[in-house]
Amino acid sequence: MTFLKRLVILILLWAWALQVAANTKLIEMKHPLSHYEINKMTNILGGQIRLFDKFNSPYFKRLYIVNTKIPTAQILSQPLVKKVESADVIHPYSVKPSKEHSRLSNDPLLPYQWAVENTGQVIGQDIDDITLLRKIGTRDAAIDFTSNEDVDRRLKREVVVAVIDTGVDTFHPDLRESIYLNSSECINGELPLNPKEDKDNNGYKGDCKGWNFTGADTNNGSRVIDDVGHGTHVAGIIAARINNEVGIAGLANKIKILPLKVFRQEYENQRGSKNANAIGTTDRLAKAILYATQMRVDVINLSLGWPLALDKNYLHEAIRAAIDNNIVVVAAASNNNHSAPILPCALNGVICVGSIDNDGSVSAFSNFGMHVDVLAPGDNILSSFPTALEPRLFSVSGYDLKSGTSQSAPYVSALAAILKAAHPEFTTTDILNLIISSSRDLQVTSTKTFLAGMISFKNALSGAIKKKVLPVFKENDHLTFKMTDKTAIFNMQVLNPTRSVLSSIININSLSDHAVTVNLPLQVTLNPQQSKIFPIKINILDVTKSSDVFIDIKIDEIHYKQHLSISRELDNDSDIKIISAPNISKPDLLSLESQHFRPEMPMYFNVELNEEVGKINIFSVDANELQQLGSIIIPYLKFLLGFTLIDLDNDGILEYQAIAHIKNLDSENIEYYNFAYDLKPFAQQPHFILKVENVLQSQNELSYLYKNILGKKHAVPFFFAVGPIPVIDQPKDPFLPKIFEAANHLYYFAPSDSLTDKGEATLTTHIVDSPAFMKFWKKKLKLRSFADIRLLHIMPQTEDDLRKNQIRLIVSVGLDYQRTASLVIMTFDSDGKLNWQWSPLNTSGLVIDGYQLSRTINLQDLKNKETTLIGPQQSTMWDKLSLAADGTTSHLTRIQGEDISEDFKMYAGDYLDKDVRYSFIQTISEKLFSVENNGKVKNYTMPFYVSSFLPGNTFLERGYPIWFHAEKNLPALYIDAGQIFQKSAYLIIGDQTGITAPLYMNVNVPESCRALNPSLWGEIYNFTLLCEKDKKWELRLLPMQKLNY
């Protein structure tokens, strides 16, 4: 396979979510289609439309799936169509035993299972490279397990738990007897080799031991091999064989596991090497849930999750179908230490599980909030692991230690299964009531809130619970208000989970001084297993205060603390500006950015693709209308990798540059297309073909040098990326080995000095730090043999740098930690070769290798006059070094954090206001705002919302550094929360007294709208929503400035 083909595969994987969303469509029709209508829609959509699943429900009878390139807006225009959704990528989520243990079973690794029997096992937790925190276990932290004999005596039948995950090692010695067998599809209890028929008529041939939904061939998925390890680990917690003198002990031998594989291992690079990440798609997860429902399992375990950005109605319907069929659905709360609801945990009817440690404290990583129902052990859990894989943290093959709420959920799934086996007549509401009402209070005080406490097997099995009305904190934490009445409505839902009539008194009080509740208290009477919703009015007293409001809900004598997030509705808001968009037909508009120059008015573009041509449409705001400036045509455009405005020839006039993946019958290339501002092909050189090696141009910050090519000046992009040394820069000495290992290099794409035989201009991949170039400078600087030169950063390129045709580099020289830093001015000489001019860089004695770099926004003139470097000295101590343009140190600040678990994650923004300096830093779970005034540093924090399950797959809130216009400009971060937990965009604003996310700067993004990047009009940023109203599109702009309320 050629490298280009391998790289194209990588490109497609990198853009997988977008490609899947563009091509795989799930279409809800207004009614089930006849054969005639199916054929008609197939012809219209250009792809075979078929029923999504044969599951028997009114919704799924009219849900169809198709692979098509027809735009969503065009599909929605068909009279048969009700709703269109895409299929998106989703991701799932060392112990020292005590000498004292009671031997609940003869399984030899039971003493390591502190969650089952906590006898004081010690867990070591690394805080940093030299600090080890030892946690000694306590008995109350275990699941309060009774005995295997007691459990077996109570169980009246076998029960089945569907583990929807990465698959299961069905031949594992501790699991092979615990796998559910669909006997009609098995041959002597094993998988048929090549099944020819669907013996049970469920649509899946040979589904003897579950089904693999990740394969391209939907008719051949009988093998559920776990190539990651996550699913096998979950399955072992639930049902590893007890008293088989092997490995660990599960929780009941009458529990059977139905393995449903929806995640597969992700391949990391073009050579096919693997990593520990797992990937799946939302449509396959929905099919797995429907399969489990069809197979009439008792419990579904979902140690996985997805953020709001990937939420789908068909996933909700699949989970609802399971619950309606009396299946208990258990989900992990996620591992990001915040209270924002993550799906499916926050869905009504799903039991959501957080994590505790072996000492009874809430795990530092565990999510929390009142949508999290109960807690179970999740830290350093020993369980089964595929025998074909190498364990990472345990020395016995076939077993490994893992931490996370993914490990907590299966304890609750096992408890639910045991309760269903003991009480076959119980409903899902009965099971929910037993699990929640039998839970125990936490023995270690925590500021984190949960609906209930730690699970107790003993209490739940004995049925010793108190009858009480329960609040339901699902799908009701995000409220909206209008500026006209400043009132939000909280739909308070309560449930009587018992089989008796219950009456309760409900009182709700605001714990936030800028909001009050009205129309309370309530006296309610609920029939058995009845649920009711009561709308509670919340009056907002001050919209400049936080958009986070906390309320205390008292039901009889029990208090619950609920966090509400309140956003501002912009529909008919008098402060917004409406820009009509008559040329927009679908919500695919993107902001057109230029990192060096600011257009007079905001500009946008979208892309239209068909088989033979791609079209980039460009728009700009004129008065109150978004007008189309024109279109750029690119033949055989497969995928647009980048589109930007740059000055290609250093004449002060901007041009457009498109980076395109081109595929036709004869070739497949990465190509650069250049166009003048009037959209005509750029006269100097309109088109380059990139000689693809093993790196693509970074779409982050680029810098440019201008080089004379064929007698004309042309911009050459420079960027840092991880990859091997290009062929042209490999050592020329035949006796020296070639270097193919990936490393961080400073790449550039150099235009060729001549055209090819076909008259084509090409770009060749180079690195600045080539072995020859580094050897030259080591000799010139008289460095010792083991010393090296490291290129650390490009200082943000200014307009002045462009005019001088220079790039400023920060370079580190030396041995290990005996290093010095230099400022290097890099230019092209008259021969087109790179030239360096060195000068010392004052770093105040700090070794800055590994520091992050950021522009510093001067809040006085809104220009970037300084560059800031920030890096950790310890896990919670960071040094911030501010550099002037000439490399002299202008200021050094030391920022001290507080929580030992809050490691530095990323640098979000830096600001200067005369003598006051501000910084936004994102840690693992917090946004830290640092203020330095007169040499004193003070820190303020807010939660940092992330969604991740399996390692390496993360959705996170990214702060976009801007400024807020008040009496004077203030530092601010713009955040689009729609990626994680709620459909809103908001500002975090800081000053010398702290930070806040004010109510009137938290904007609701309704279903009919999409949030675009904030647009800059003059010196004032605006929230920008693209919205559909009466089948027409418009931009809604809200200035990010202080208003008189």
Mean pLDDT of all residues belonging to the chain: 87
409 and 519: one domain?
A: no
Give the phi and the psi of residue 451 in degrees, each rounded to 5. Answer: -65, -45
The predicted structure's pLDDT at residue 76: 85
Answer whether 127's CB lies under 8 Å from 133's CB: yes
If DSSP states are collapsed to H, E and C, what string results for 286-346?
HHHHHHHHHCCCCEEEECEEECHHHCCHHHHHHHHHHHHCCCEEEEECCCCCCCCCCECCC
306 and 394: one domain?
A: yes
Which amino acid does the sequence have at 37?
Answer: E
* Alpha carbon separation from 776 to 183, 789, 835, 1016 (Å, rounded): 72, 11, 12, 46
Taking 50 as the threshold, does the pLDDT of residue 94 lie above it? Answer: no
Residue 1033 lies in a domain: no
pLDDT digits (tens, 9 = 90+) for 40-57: 898 888 888 999 988 888
Least confident span in 237-246, 687-696, 701-710: 687-696
Smallest CA-to-CA distance from 308 within 955, 995, 952 is with 955
Q: What is the three-class DSSP state of 483?
A: coil
Answer whether 140's CB lies under 8 Å from 169's CB: no
pLDDT band at 20 (very low <50, low <70, confident <90, very high): very low
Tell me the helix, strand and coil percentages in the chain, rounded to 5: 15, 40, 45
Taking 80 as the threshold, does the pLDDT of residue 592 lie above it? Answer: yes
The predicted structure's pLDDT at residue 1042: 87
pLDDT digits (tens, 9 = 90+) for 827-838: 999 888 899 999
Q: In angstroms, what is the C-alpha Rg of the chain?
A: 30
77 and 115: one domain?
A: no
pLDDT band at 622 (very low <50, low <70, confident <90, very high): confident
| Distance linking the first and last C-alpha atoms of the chain | 64
The predicted structure's pLDDT at residue 15: 43
Can 101 be counted among the known catalytic residues?
no
Answer whether 940's CB lies under 8 Å from 931's CB: yes
What is the tally of structural domains in the chain? 4
83 and 98: one domain?
A: no
Least confident span in 569-583, 591-605, 757-771: 591-605
The predicted structure's pLDDT at residue 269: 42
The predicted structure's pLDDT at residue 218: 64
Burial class from Cβ neighbours inside 10 Å (0-12, 13-18, 19+) for residue 520 reads middle
pLDDT digits (tens, 9 = 90+) for 358-369: 999 999 889 999
Structure tokens at 74: 């065009």
Sign of CA dihedral 736, 741, 747, 750: positive
Can 230 be counted among the known catalytic residues?
yes
Residue 845 lies in a domain: no
Sign of CA dihedral 861, 862, 866, 868: positive
When pLDDT is averaged across residues 117-139 and rounded to a whole number, the result is 69
Domain edge (last residue) among 667, 683, 699: 683
DSSP for 913-938, please give it: ETTEEEEEEEESSEEEEEEEETTEEE
Smallest CA-to-CA distance from 141 within 116, 123, 159, 165 is with 116
The predicted structure's pLDDT at residue 1028: 92
Answer whether 739's CB lies under 8 Å from 767's CB: no
Answer whether 450's CB lies under 8 Å from 368's CB: yes
Domain edge (last residue) among 538, 568, 598: 568
Domain edge (last residue) among 512, 537, 568: 568
Residue 554 lies in a domain: yes
Query: Out of 406, 565, 812, 882, which one is annotated catalytic?
Result: 406
pLDDT band at 14 (very low <50, low <70, confident <90, very high): very low
How many Cβ atoms from other residues are within 10 Å of residue 833's Cβ? 10
Structure tokens at 56: 């028997």
Looking at residue 537, which CATH number applies to its domain?
2.60.40.10
Looking at residue 102, which CATH number applies to its domain?
3.40.50.200
563 and 616: one domain?
A: no
Burial class from Cβ neighbours inside 10 Å (0-12, 13-18, 19+) for residue 79 reads exposed
77 and 103: one domain?
A: no
> Who has greater pLDDT, 577 or 845?
577
Q: What is the extent of the structural domain holding 108?
A: 94-269+276-434+444-465
When pLDDT is averaged across residues 708-734 and rounded to a whole number, the result is 87
When pLDDT is averaged across residues 936-952 and rounded to a whole number, the result is 71
pLDDT digits (tens, 9 = 90+) for 392-447: 888 899 999 999 999 999 999 999 999 999 999 999 999 999 999 999 998 788 88
The predicted structure's pLDDT at residue 698: 65
**Whole-number Å distance between alpha carbons of 450 and 492:** 17
**Pairing state between β 255-261 and 264-267:** unpaired
Structure tokens at 777: 């400078």
Smallest CA-to-CA distance from 725 within 749, 741, 736, 704 is with 741
Residue 480 lies in a domain: yes
127 and 190: one domain?
A: yes
DSSP 573: -
Which amino acid does the sequence have at 947?
Answer: S
**Whole-number Å distance between alpha carbons of 908 and 923:** 10
Answer whether 288's CB lies under 8 Å from 53's CB: no
Smallest CA-to-CA distance from 448 within 362, 527, 529 is with 362
Task: 770-776: list long-range contacts, CB under 8 Å, 24+ apart.
Answer: 770/725, 770/729, 771/725, 771/729, 771/730, 771/731, 771/739, 772/729, 772/731, 772/732, 773/834
Residue 856 lies in a domain: no
103 and 184: one domain?
A: yes
Answer whether 949's CB lies under 8 Å from 309's CB: no
Can 714 be counted among the known catalytic residues?
no
Query: Out of 91, 101, 172, 230, which one is annotated catalytic?
Result: 230
Residue 545 lies in a domain: yes
Query: Out of 165, 169, 879, 910, which one is annotated catalytic?
Result: 165
The predicted structure's pLDDT at residue 232: 97
629 and 595: one domain?
A: yes
> Who has greater pLDDT, 382 or 905?
382
Taking 60 as the threshold, does the pLDDT of residue 900 lie above it? Answer: no
- Show Cβ contacts of residue 576 under 8 Å, excluding neighbours closer than 6 positions: 570, 1036, 1037, 1038
Tell me, rounded to whole angstroms, the distance of Cα 804 from its chain centroid. Answer: 41
* Alpha carbon separation from 933 to 870, 880, 918, 938 (Å, rounded): 18, 14, 9, 9
When pLDDT is averaged across residues 690-708 and rounded to a whole number, the result is 79
Residue 157 lies in a domain: yes
The predicted structure's pLDDT at residue 709: 80
DSSP for 724-781, please give it: ---GGGS---TTSPP----EEEEEEEEEPSS--TTS--EEEEEETT-HHHHHHHHHHT
Maximum average pLDDT range among 2-11, 223-232, 305-314: 223-232
417 and 299: one domain?
A: yes
When pLDDT is averaged across residues 504-511 and rounded to a whole number, the result is 95
Answer whether 397's CB lies under 8 Å from 225's CB: no
The predicted structure's pLDDT at residue 268: 45
Residue 222 lies in a domain: yes
The predicted structure's pLDDT at residue 790: 93
pLDDT band at 371 (very low <50, low <70, confident <90, very high): very high
Maximum average pLDDT range among 120-129, 331-340, 371-380, 711-720: 371-380
How many Cβ atoms from other residues are within 10 Å of residue 490's Cβ? 21
How many Cβ atoms from other residues are within 10 Å of residue 888's Cβ? 12
296 and 365: one domain?
A: yes
When pLDDT is averaged across residues 461-469 and rounded to a whole number, the result is 86
> Who has greater pLDDT, 450 or 874?
450
Half-sphere exposure of 278 (CA within 13 A, CB side): 25
Structure tokens at 539: 């009056």
Task: 921-924: list long-range contacts, CB under 8 Å, 24+ apart.
Answer: 921/870, 921/878, 921/895, 922/959, 923/897, 924/336, 924/337
**Whole-number Å distance between alpha carbons of 835 and 911:** 33
617 and 667: one domain?
A: yes
DSSP 32: P
Answer whether 230's CB lies under 8 Å from 385's CB: no
Task: Using a pLDDT cut of 90, give the percent of the chain over it.
Answer: 55
Looking at residue 12, which CATH number applies to its domain?
3.30.70
Sign of CA dihedral 737, 742, 746, 747: positive
Which amino acid does the sequence have at 317?
Answer: E
pLDDT digits (tens, 9 = 90+) for 789-814: 999 999 988 888 888 999 999 999 99
**Whole-number Å distance between alpha carbons of 854 and 930:** 15
**pTM for this entry:** 0.85
Least confident span in 691-700, 773-782, 1002-1011: 691-700
**Whole-number Å distance between alpha carbons of 866 and 846:** 18
**Whole-number Å distance between alpha carbons of 396 and 174:** 13
Half-sphere exposure of 80 (CA within 13 A, CB side): 19
**Whole-number Å distance between alpha carbons of 233 and 398:** 10
Taking 50 as the threshold, does the pLDDT of residue 274 lie above it? Answer: no
> Who has greater pLDDT, 545 or 279?
545
